[in-house]
Structure 1
Amino acid sequence: MIEDTLVKPMRILLVDDNPNNLKVLSEAIQGHGWKALMANDGESAIEQAEYAHPDLIILDVMMPGIDGFETCRRLKANSITQHIPVIFMTALSDALDKVKGLEIGAVDYITKPFQQEEVIARLKLHLKISHLTRTLEQQVEERTAELTQSLQQLQHTQLQMIQSEKMSALGNLVAGIAHEMNNPLGFISATLKQAKPNIGDIIEHLQLYQKSFPNANEEIINHAEEVDLDYCIEDLSKMIDSMVMACDRIKNISNSLRTFSRGDRDYKQPFNLHEGIDSTILILKHRLKANEHRPAIEVFTEYGNIPEIECFPGQLNQVFMNILANAIDALDESGAGRSFEDITANPNQITITTFVAEKQVKIIIADNGVGMSEEVQEHIFDHLFTTKGVNKGTGLGLAIAQQIIADKHDGEIDCLSNPGKGTKFVISLPI
């Protein structure tokens, strides 16, 4: 029997205004090992059902106050009692009344005068159905939880694969470009440095000719005026210096590319976060420059005295890249509809701050863009969630960023934002 399989005996709430009916039903129920709860009107039945949570209710239809139909309606409208099976007990034989009771949530009818054997048989049936239903619901909930966990694990693995493949491909590409740049760059730089003293010797030799033969012919004088010889001599050295500086600039860019694409090993390694941030800013510099729609975006770095941390440098650089790229997108969006002069008066800005607090390195990346609503903030780290238009965002950037910070580095990444007041990302990494 059902009651033998459970730790607690089944509890059945009997609701009838006739004390004799309650007594007979109570004795029959207790004779089968069930526990009888009793109420003599609808109001007390509802109150008792809320705190006692019976396994089944036998409910008389004709009662003073609220009748059985209204009592059943209230029980089914209450989230606490709506799942308790209700069996109506009535002397009414009209089929319409029975249909009415079934429509409002009853599972069965017992007709007065009742036979104890029939009542017990029906109770056994509906208690068994109720038990099976609860067991099935529990199994469905457990299976749903398992499927949800499997889906989350699948998404987690997918993010790892995407992030790994992306960083691997990007790292190989950038490292290859940086390597190929370095060969001709080294040749140009070395040649310029060697050419400068040679050109100086040639100019000095030319000046000796001018002193030795001060009376130049008309053709030489005219040509000197035509090419502005004095200016050429003065400017040539500056041109060489400018080209050497340009080579140094390209070399810095190449080094930044190599820093950004720094390959991660299977274990963490010491890394200067400021170098990673600087290299990311340099790579994004083309997006920060002024265009026909807005002036240049200003980037301010307020670096504190932070130590190197054990981490996966390439992965953290990708986090910086994702957040800074999103900040630029937000500032471009905030500029839509504003005049060039208005943006100049209230410039677009990104501020990056680092400091140590509570044995953690804090990196704050803040912009004064459009900001986000509370609803959007709740989903920005969700897999495939994006507010950008078609072909403008994958919805993976911040999901990957959170995975890198939380799962790979035992850190935290939080977002603070208000519409029209900008957005601030706070990254916390353990030292």
Structure 2
Amino acid sequence: MDSNSPATLLVVDDNPTNLAVVCAHLTKCGYRMLTAENAKSALRRLERIQPDLMLLDVMMPDMDGFQLAAQIREREDYHGQPMIFMTALDDMESKLKGFAAGGVDYITKPIQHEELLVRIKTHLEVHQLRQELSLENQRKDELIQELEAYDMTVAHDLKNPIGGIASAAETFDLMDDLTDTEAREIVEMIKLGANQCQHIINGLLSFARLRKGHATLQVVDMEKLARQSIDALKTMIQEVNASITIEGALPLAYGYAPWLTEVWANLISNAIKYGGCPPKIVITGSIMGQKVCYKVCDNGTGLPADQDSMFKPFARNASAYIEGTGLGLSIVERILRRLDGAIIAENNPEGGANLTFYLPSANHAQ
């Protein structure tokens, strides 16, 4: 339920008069109303829309309110929305049966409208708080898992380059008769280890900045950002003789340029690393309704079988697109999610991999 929009209520009652009176009063109070005159009709309604709260009459033909509640609870799309029973039955056994069926409250007829409003408001607020608490707990669990993986990453990934630096320094210290060639080799080992450490640390810092960062959204020239990223990777491109082609014009998007620069840099550098020999990368863009779509296609060996794991922080896989801390694509996925976008990874039937990402179009800013 969106706190800024009125709640949607489903009222199920086989008495048309009761249904009309309750709905008329609740509509005046600002609620959006759905109605059903029997349990089967209610279940059909639930196939099309999920209300925020349900008011169920107990005494109905074919299927009573308790049986209806039990069926609703078994549905995959039921997420704990409160169900309140309405009935003339006020004996303890009926009330206990109602709570056992999943009801959160029990209102006896004739219904007092003021009481009904208070109970509806209370249960909507409780349900909203439970949803927020569940989401917060989920975020905390994810954070705990990421912090545990972070510790393992720092310990594992920094161990090898730091060990290499220490070994090279020890060799340099122990050997008094180093030739110029040997000295240069040791210096290169130290530089390589230091660069590896820097790469790992930069990835971890980017991940941390994204978690805390705030963005001011605006129209972004995506072709300009893509070409800037290509220019920044010029040395890498020349080393492997990679070719990068932007086919057609890339449409404008609505987002945050500093973050999207990181998206392009990660996707293009991955395509270079895991492309063919030499790598050939093709970038395209198109407009799809209210979204814009961009593709980065390479000519490499393709993606791992478990493609979903590619976007998890600190993921590791023996196949392509997972290297070092495994943060690159995780950062890309988080950036796009923060910008109301998404990314899909898939293998090209003709060979290579396609990474396709979506963003709101420039029209979103209007």
For residue 140 of structure 1, report the CA deviation from its aligned partner. Answer: 3.1
For residue 82 of structure 1, report the CA deviation from its aligned partner. Answer: 3.6
Residues 401 and 37 of structure 1: is their aligned pair in 2 closer, same or farther, counting only changes over 3 Å?
closer
Are 1:86 and 2:83 matched, yes or no?
yes
Which position in structure 1 is the counterpart of 2:254? none
Are 1:60 and 2:57 matched, yes or no?
yes
Q: For residues 267 and 132 of structure 1, what CA distance do their matches in structure 2 show?
A: 48
For residue 89 of structure 1, report the CA deviation from its aligned partner. Answer: 1.3
Are 1:264 and 2:264 matched, yes or no?
no
For residue 155 of structure 1, report the CA deviation from its aligned partner. Answer: 4.3
Residues 82 and 406 of structure 1: is their aligned pair in 2 closer, same or farther, counting only changes over 3 Å?
closer
Residues 40 and 307 of structure 1: is their aligned pair in 2 closer, same or farther, counting only changes over 3 Å?
closer
Q: For residues 105 and 404 of structure 1, what CA distance do their matches in structure 2 show?
A: 44
Residue pair 2:54, 2:81 contacting (<8 A) in 1 also: yes
Which position in structure 1 is the counterpart of 2:35? 38
Residue pair 1:56, 1:84 contacting (<8 A) in 2 also: yes
For residue 156 of structure 1, report the CA deviation from its aligned partner. Answer: 4.0
Deviations 1:373-421 (A, max 9, x none): 978xx79x997999xxxxxxxxxxx9x96339969xxxxxxxxxxxxxx
Q: For residues 102 and 401 of structure 1, what CA distance do their matches in structure 2 show?
A: 53
Map 1:59-208 onto structure 2 (within 5 A).
59-175=56-172, 179=175
Q: For residues 124 and 103 of structure 2, what CA distance do their matches in structure 1 show?
A: 14
Are 1:8 and 2:12 matched, yes or no?
no
SS class of match (1:47)? helix
For residue 54 of structure 1, report the CA deviation from its aligned partner. Answer: 1.1
Map 1:19-418 onto structure 2 (within 5 A).
19-175=16-172, 179=175, 258=186, 261-264=189-192, 355-358=277-280, 402-403=324-325
Residues 116 and 164 of structure 1: is their aligned pair in 2 closer, same or farther, counting only changes over 3 Å?
same
For residue 174 of structure 1, report the CA deviation from its aligned partner. Answer: 4.7
For residue 43 of structure 1, report the CA deviation from its aligned partner. Answer: 1.6
Q: For residues 89 and 127 of structure 1, what CA distance do their matches in structure 2 show?
A: 17
Q: For residues 103 and 256 of structure 1, what CA distance do their matches in structure 2 show?
A: 78
Could you tell me which amino acid in structure 2 is paired with residue 403 of structure 1?
T
Could you tell me which amino acid in structure 2 is paired with residue 14 of structure 1?
V
Percent pairwise identity? 26
Q: For residues 135 and 325 of structure 2, what CA distance do their matches in structure 1 show?
A: 32
Q: For residues 54 and 192 of structure 2, what CA distance do their matches in structure 1 show?
A: 65
SS class of match (1:114)? coil
Could you tell me which amino acid in structure 1 is paired with residue 107 of structure 2?
I
Which position in structure 2 is the counterpart of 1:213? none
For residue 259 of structure 1, report the CA deviation from its aligned partner. Answer: 8.9
Q: For residues 127 and 404 of structure 1, what CA distance do their matches in structure 2 show?
A: 41
SS class of match (1:130)? helix
For residue 98 of structure 1, report the CA deviation from its aligned partner. Answer: 1.9
For residue 308 of structure 1, report the CA deviation from its aligned partner. Answer: 5.4
Residue pair 1:75, 1:82 contacting (<8 A) in 2 also: no
SS class of match (1:170)? helix
Could you tell me which amino acid in structure 1 is paired with residue 133 of structure 2?
L
Q: For residues 20 and 239 of structure 2, what CA distance do their matches in structure 1 show?
A: 80
Residue pair 1:175, 1:261 contacting (<8 A) in 2 also: no
Tell me the C-alpha RMSD between the 2 structures: 5.0
SS class of match (1:402)? coil
Could you tell me which amino acid in structure 2 is paired with residue 76 of structure 1?
R
Residue pair 1:50, 1:81 contacting (<8 A) in 2 also: no
For residue 45 of structure 1, report the CA deviation from its aligned partner. Answer: 1.0
Residue pair 2:316, 2:323 contacting (<8 A) in 1 also: no
Structure 1, unaligned runs of 5 or more: 187-251, 269-305, 311-353, 365-372, 387-397, 408-431
Deviations 1:63-99 (A, max 9, x none): 1222212211121111212421101112223322322
SS class of match (2:34)? strand
Q: For residues 25 and 17 of structure 2, what CA distance do their matches in structure 1 show?
A: 13
- TM-score, length-normalised on structure 2? 0.50
Residue pair 2:157, 2:324 contacting (<8 A) in 1 also: no
Q: For residues 187 and 159 of structure 2, what CA distance do their matches in structure 1 show?
A: 21
Deviations 1:132-177 (A, max 9, x none): 2223333334444444555554444444542343222233345556
Q: For residues 52 and 402 of structure 1, what CA distance do their matches in structure 2 show?
A: 45
SS class of match (1:166)? helix
SS class of match (2:30)? coil
Residues 147 and 118 of structure 1: is their aligned pair in 2 closer, same or farther, counting only changes over 3 Å?
same
Residue pair 1:15, 1:41 contacting (<8 A) in 2 also: yes
Q: For residues 32 and 405 of structure 1, what CA distance do their matches in structure 2 show?
A: 49
Residue pair 1:10, 1:35 contacting (<8 A) in 2 also: yes
Query: How many pairs were matched up?
Result: 238
